[in-house]
């Protein structure tokens, strides 16, 4: 009888671990980190545009590395370390970052008006979040819709538009993190 009780206990542990991983695909700390980075970075476009490039050049890569570390520590705590999944997330968002850095010369050389570059970057980020929502983590999908709505709103908001869009995006990120996100698409892959 003891063996049956031990087996039930072991199966209960495995079931709990699987259910927890499906509920919480990423730690809230990653969402909250990016909410803070986005809120400050978008507001810089309105209030201190000359610092915007430096800010994102430093905080973008630093945020990516911090996110990877937070995700790795979270997976260790859950007991579900999947190197392939960590690499997939990292490559996805690193690819987005590389595309953004490669687009900078378009503004510097005048091929694209420098004033339009921030909106162009927002669209790249929204696309990356959309694709991450389809392939990695479902909650990122609706955050991409908030970014796209913000991009459209920038055509109509006369003052402090970037601060408003940053606040909208930060609220979406923070709410997703605090409410526990949703099911991870990648966890089932």
Phi, psi of 79 (to 5 degrees): 80, 30
Residue 11 has pLDDT above 80, yes or no: no
Domain locations in the chain? 2-188
Lowest model confidence (mean pLDDT) among 43-52, 54-63, 154-163, 172-181: 172-181
Would you state the pLDDT for residue 181?
Answer: 60
The model's pLDDT over 82-127, given as tens digits with 9 standing for 90+, comes to 888 888 999 999 999 999 999 999 999 999 998 899 999 999 999 9
Residue 14 has pLDDT above 80, yes or no: no
Query: What count of Cα atoms within 13 Å lies in the side-chain half-sphere of residue 107?
Result: 14
Residue 178 has pLDDT above 80, yes or no: yes
Most confident of 3-7, 67-71, 145-149: 145-149
The model's pLDDT over 156-172, given as tens digits with 9 standing for 90+, comes to 998 999 999 999 999 99
Residue 4 has pLDDT above 60, yes or no: yes
Provide the greatest CA pair distance for the chain.
77
Q: DSSP letters of the chain? A: -HHHHHHHHHHHHHHHHHHHHHH-SS-HHHHHHHHHHHHHHHHHHHH-GGGHHHHHHHHHHHHHHHHHHHHHHHHHHHT---HHHHHHHHHHHHHHHHHHHHHHHHHHTTSS-HHHHHHHHHHHHHHHHHHHHHHTBTHHHHHHHHHHHHHHHTTT--SSHHHHHHHHHHHHHHHHHHHT---BTGGG-
Residue 187 has pLDDT above 60, yes or no: no
């Amino acid at each position: 009888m003891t063996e049956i009780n031990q087996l039930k206990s072991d199966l209960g542990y495995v079931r709990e671990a699987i259910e927890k991983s499906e509920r919480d695909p990423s730690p809230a700390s990653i969402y909250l980190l990016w909410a803070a980075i986005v809120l400050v970075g978008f507001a810089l476009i309105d209030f201190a545009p000359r610092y915007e490039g430096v800010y994102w050049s430093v905080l973008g890569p630093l945020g990516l590395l911090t996110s990877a570390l937070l995700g790795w520590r979270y997976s260790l705590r859950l007991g579900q370390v999947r190197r392939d999944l960590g690499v997939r997330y990292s490559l996805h968002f690193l690819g987005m970052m590389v595309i953004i850095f490669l687009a900078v010369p378009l503004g510097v050389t005048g091929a694209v008006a420098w004033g339009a570059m921030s909106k162009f970057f927002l669209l790249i980020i929204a696309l990356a979040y959309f694709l991450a929502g389809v392939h990695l983590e479902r909650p990122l999908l609706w955050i991409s819709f908030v970014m796209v709505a913000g991009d459209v709103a920038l055509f109509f908001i006369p003052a402090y538009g970037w601060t408003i869009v940053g606040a909208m995006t930060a609220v979406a990120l923070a709410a997703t993190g605090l409410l526990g996100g949703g099911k991870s698409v990648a966890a089932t892959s």
